[in-house]
């Protein structure tokens, strides 16, 4: 079946070498195809950056960095990269093709896994990440979608598209790339990434394998991010009673909110995993989890795609430039704030942040020195810092800007990360300096953009594709089946069904009617006119082959039919008829005087049927006569009669 309808790359040969055969998966930045390397005659996966991103130098740089980074790893648990190149708008990576499924497919299908199976998957994942960490790379986007499980049982880590050097500082100005359910707290708040963010993500993946569900859920990404910052990952045994305490401790160690409390890298975590496994009994390792499959995730990163997420800014100290305020963490809680007396990273408070006592002491020193609080207002009439109002309602944001003496304008846009009616961004960005009263433009979220699936029933396939394109959707897998009530070539139904809300550009599977079935009749041996009348009367289309053939059928009759009698066809299907030139004339061998068995074989090898008549009394076995004299011509397939000699 064609699963890649309307995909312009399928069928092309990129760079004169890679023949694209089918689309495998679509991600946030690239699409992966199954392809054939025509030079080496091998199947591989071709990861092609979305053309819209290929014009962005930073995305292309990240793409090429992935190729170079993975090429240096050469680890059996890392999907290998063979080549990197570009042709026109298509920037691609040629990678190892792994026939199988992803860990996401396994968890979605089976739910919680037995501890032994979960650890069997986690260990090679950590081995791959450990090799990356020791080579100086951080993956930064570990999740079940990037763990491939081959049909032969091999586990491989894929998609190093967000890889960074361990020593690189990734403190971004306002956003972080990643998947919200697997982001470490320091990624969310500070935008920083080192080997411990991969450790945190692996802890979340382990929790998900053991329980069948993500540890932090929410209707929006903002709620999930808040829980990562303010709530510990719950013990797996809370969801699956009876799990060994060693597994709870393993998850807790990997997902500690303070990165200083986690294993330093994947190698260190792998050592903990092996120690935990050694401490477990066979009964604990093979404990059978509940068989209920997890409900599909609604809301935050339900499709597991890597996205650009607004980073939550920490409280910042005033710098040597005159400012009129300090920005604050503007993350609204999903229900209520964190427990009293507890900071984001535990009871000890966040590292590197001054306590209220320290701030009070600083103010006291300034007063003693006669500086006074007026130092914060030098030149305040000229420049003002834009406060962070991300996540606030429009009214709250306007009041906050007004308190700073800034005017506000608004614009609106769709967002998967911010609730409808809340601020998803500002222009200029928070902490930017503006002269006088601004204005500052507030970008208000309209909530996630959704598209309603149109009713395609009764439309032709071409009409359905056009309607989907007009609605901002795409035709996905097309299946066909017989239906006596729906005309051939028209849509019977769609998946998702008409009226369902889906994301833009989602693929909609179509079921198309093949019409009422037609049982192919037997028409060989009939005249071409009679055969054509019978087939067209059944609703089939008749085509006569250009060349005629010799056959046992009489000249001018049907020698062959392209569909065997009894085959189920659809109305309108084409049946090809081949016309007979009559049998081929063959010279008959002379077999008189030979034994009947030898004579029979000689004639059959020449293409004849043979009958033997024995003369009375039946004592001789030598051919005395043959119905066609040796050396004469006879139709191929005709019957030659042999008579034996009597005594």
Q: What is the pLDDT of residue 647?
A: 58
Task: Establish if 347 belongs to a structural domain.
Answer: no
Task: Establish if 30 belongs to a structural domain.
Answer: yes
Lowest model confidence (mean pLDDT) among 11-25, 299-313, 619-633: 299-313
Task: Establish if 58 belongs to a structural domain.
Answer: yes
Lowest model confidence (mean pLDDT) among 146-160, 305-319, 454-468: 305-319
Mean pLDDT of 444-456: 84
DSSP 3-state assignment of 301? coil
CATH number at residue 43: 3.30.200.20
Beta-sheet strands, E only, within 422-557: 423-427, 433-435, 440-445, 451-452, 474-481, 491-495, 501-502, 507-513, 517-519, 541-544
Task: Establish if 325 belongs to a structural domain.
Answer: no
- Please compute, for residue 481, the number of CA atoms within 13 A of its CA located in the half-sphere on the CB side: 7
Mean pLDDT of the chain: 80
Is residue 176 domain-shared with residue 309, that is, in the same domain? yes
Q: Which of 411, 427, 445 is the last residue of a domain?
A: 445
Strand partners, 307: 178
Q: How far apart are CA 560 and CA 558, in angstroms?
A: 6
Is residue 508 domain-shared with residue 537, that is, in the same domain? no
CATH number at residue 244: 1.10.510.10
Is residue 494 domain-shared with residue 555, that is, in the same domain? no
Is residue 164 domain-shared with residue 200, that is, in the same domain? yes
Output the CA torsion 548→552→556→559 (10° steps): -60
Q: Does the pLDDT of residue 560 top 80, yes or no?
A: yes
Task: Establish if 297 belongs to a structural domain.
Answer: no
Q: To which residue do tokens 């030598």 refer?
A: 622
Is residue 48 domain-shared with residue 78, that is, in the same domain? yes
Note the residue count of the chain. 647
Q: How far apart are CA 364 and CA 517, in angstroms?
A: 91
Q: Does the pLDDT of residue 641 top 80, yes or no?
A: yes
Q: Which of 497, 512, 527 is the last residue of a domain?
A: 512
Q: What is the pLDDT of residue 428?
A: 85
Is residue 107 domain-shared with residue 247, that is, in the same domain? yes
Q: Annotate 184-226 with DSSP letters as a single string.
A: -HHHHHH----HHHHHHHHHHHHHHHHHSS-SS--SSHHHHHH
CA 550 to the chain's CA centroid: 53
Q: Where are the alpha helices (DSSP H) in 439-595?
A: 461-470, 528-537
Is residue 522 domain-shared with residue 560, that is, in the same domain? yes
Task: Establish if 610 belongs to a structural domain.
Answer: yes
Q: What is the pLDDT of residue 364?
A: 38
Count of domains in the chain?
6
For 241-263, how does the pLDDT look when each residue is reduced to its tens digit (9 = 90+)?
999 999 999 999 999 999 989 99
Task: Give CA separation, 565 vs 303, 334, 536, 542, 560, in Å.
Answer: 48, 67, 15, 15, 11
Task: Establish if 345 belongs to a structural domain.
Answer: no
DSSP 3-state assignment of 67? helix
CATH number at residue 382: 3.30.10.20
Task: Establish if 198 belongs to a structural domain.
Answer: yes
Is residue 627 domain-shared with residue 533, that is, in the same domain? no
- Please compute, for residue 147, the number of CA atoms within 13 A of its CA located in the half-sphere on the CB side: 26
Q: How far apart are CA 98 and CA 34, in angstroms?
A: 10
Q: What is the pLDDT of residue 128?
A: 93
Mean pLDDT of 113-137: 92
Mean pLDDT of 565-574: 89
Position 189 confidence tier, pLDDT thresholds 50, 70, 90: confident
Is residue 270 domain-shared with residue 144, that is, in the same domain? yes
Note down the domain range covering 462. Answer: 451-512
Q: Does the pLDDT of residue 336 top 60, yes or no?
A: no
Q: How far apart are CA 18 and CA 119, in angstroms?
A: 37
Mean pLDDT of 363-377: 33
Q: What is the pLDDT of residue 87?
A: 83
Whether the CB-CB separation of 91 and 60 falls below 8 Å is answered with yes
Nearest to 524 by CA among 534, 509, 514, 516: 534
Task: Give CA separation, 15 vs 80, 84, 90, 150, 441, in Å.
Answer: 20, 10, 10, 28, 45
Q: Which of 496, 512, 528 is the last residue of a domain?
A: 512
For 531-542, how does the pLDDT look when each residue is reduced to its tens digit (9 = 90+)?
999 999 888 999
Active site residues: 141
Is residue 267 domain-shared with residue 122, that is, in the same domain? yes
Is residue 209 domain-shared with residue 77, that is, in the same domain? no
DSSP 3-state assignment of 96? strand
Q: How far apart are CA 360 and CA 325, in angstroms?
A: 16
Q: Does the pLDDT of residue 131 top 80, yes or no?
A: yes
Q: Does the pLDDT of residue 394 top 70, yes or no?
A: yes
Q: Does the pLDDT of residue 101 top 60, yes or no?
A: yes
Tell if the pTM clears 0.85, that is, is over it: no
Is residue 427 domain-shared with residue 365, that is, in the same domain? yes
The continuous run of DSSP H or E covering 361 comes out as helix 356-368
Q: What is the pLDDT of residue 349?
A: 35
């Amino acid at each position: 079946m064609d699963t890649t309808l309307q995909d312009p790359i399928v069928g092309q040969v990129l760079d004169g070498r890679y023949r694209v055969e089918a689309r495998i998966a679509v991600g946030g930045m690239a699409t992966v195809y199954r392809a054939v390397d025509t030079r080496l005659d091998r199947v591989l996966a071709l990861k092609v950056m979305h053309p819209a991103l290929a014009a962005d130098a930073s995305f292309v740089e990240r793409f090429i960095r992935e190729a170079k980074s993975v090429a240096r790893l050469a680890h059996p648990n890392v999907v290998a990269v063979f080549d990197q190149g570009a042709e026109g708008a298509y920037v691609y990576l040629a990678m190892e093709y792994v026939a199988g499924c992803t860990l996401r497919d396994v968890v979605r299908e089976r739910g919680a896994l037995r501890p032994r199976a979960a650890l069997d998957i986690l260990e090679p994942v950590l081995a791959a990440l450990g090799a990356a960490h020791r080579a100086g790379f951080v993956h930064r986007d570990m999740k079940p979608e990037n763990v491939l499980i081959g049909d032969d049982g091999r586990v491989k880590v894929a998609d190093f598209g967000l890889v960074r050097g361990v020593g690189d500082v990734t403190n971004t100005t306002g956003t972080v790339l990643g998947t919200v359910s697997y982001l470490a707290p320091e990624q969310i708040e500070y935008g920083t990434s080192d080997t411990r963010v991969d450790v945190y993500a692996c802890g979340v993946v382990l929790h998900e394998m053991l329980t069948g569900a993500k540890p932090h859920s929410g209707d929006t990404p903002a709620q999930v991010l808040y829980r990562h910052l303010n709530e510990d990952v719950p013990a797996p045994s809370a969801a699956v009673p009876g799990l060994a305490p060693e597994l709870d401790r393993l998850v807790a160690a990997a997902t500690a909110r303070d990165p200083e409390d986690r294993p330093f890298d994947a190698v260190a975590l792998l050592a903990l995993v092996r120690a935990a496994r050694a401490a477990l009994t066979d009964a604990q390792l093979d404990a059978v989890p509940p068989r209920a499959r997890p409900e599909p995730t609604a809301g935050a990163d339900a499709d597991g795609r890597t996205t650009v997420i607004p980073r939550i800014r920490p409280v910042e100290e005033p710098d040597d430039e005159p400012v009129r305020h300090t920005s604050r963490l503007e993350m609204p809680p999903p229900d209520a704030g964190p427990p009293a007396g507890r900071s984001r990273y535990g009871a000890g408070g966040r590292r590197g942040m001054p306590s209220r006592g320290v701030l009070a002491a600083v103010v006291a020193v300034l007063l003693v020195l006669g500086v006074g609080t007026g130092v914060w207002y030098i030149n305040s009439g000229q420049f003002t810092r834009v406060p962070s109002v991300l996540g606030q309602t429009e009214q709250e944001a306007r009041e906050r800007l007004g308190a700073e003496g800034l005017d506000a304008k608004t614009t609106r846009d769709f967002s998967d990360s911010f609730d409808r009616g809340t601020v998803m961004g500002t222009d200029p960005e928070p902490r930017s300096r503006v002269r006088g009263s601004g204005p500052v433009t507030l970008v208000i979220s309209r909530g996630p953009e959704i598209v309603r699936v149109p009713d395609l029933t009764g439309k032709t396939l071409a009409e359905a594709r056009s309607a989907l394109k007009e609605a901002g959707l795409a035709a996905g897998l097309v299946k066909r089946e017989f239906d006596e009530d729906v005309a051939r070539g028209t849509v019977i139904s769609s998946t998702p069904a008409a009226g369902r809300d889906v994301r833009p550009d989602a693929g909609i599977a179509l079921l198309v009617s093949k019409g009422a079935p037609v049982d192919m009749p037997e028409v060989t041996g009939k005249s071409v006119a009679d055969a054509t009348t019978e087939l067209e009367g059944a609703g089939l289309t008749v085509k006569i082959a250009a060349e005629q053939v010799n056959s046992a059928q009489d000249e001018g009759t049907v020698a062959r039919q392209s569909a065997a009698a009894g085959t189920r066809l659809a109305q309108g299907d084409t049946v090809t008829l081949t016309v007979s030139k009559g049998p081929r004339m063959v010279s008959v061998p002379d077999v008189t005087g030979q034994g009947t068995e030898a004579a029979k074989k000689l004639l059959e090898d020449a293409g004849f049927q043979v009958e033997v008549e024995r003369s009375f009394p039946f004592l001789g076995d030598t051919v005395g006569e043959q119905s066609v004299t040796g050396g004469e011509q006879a139709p191929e397939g005709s019957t030659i009669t042999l008579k034996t000699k009597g005594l």
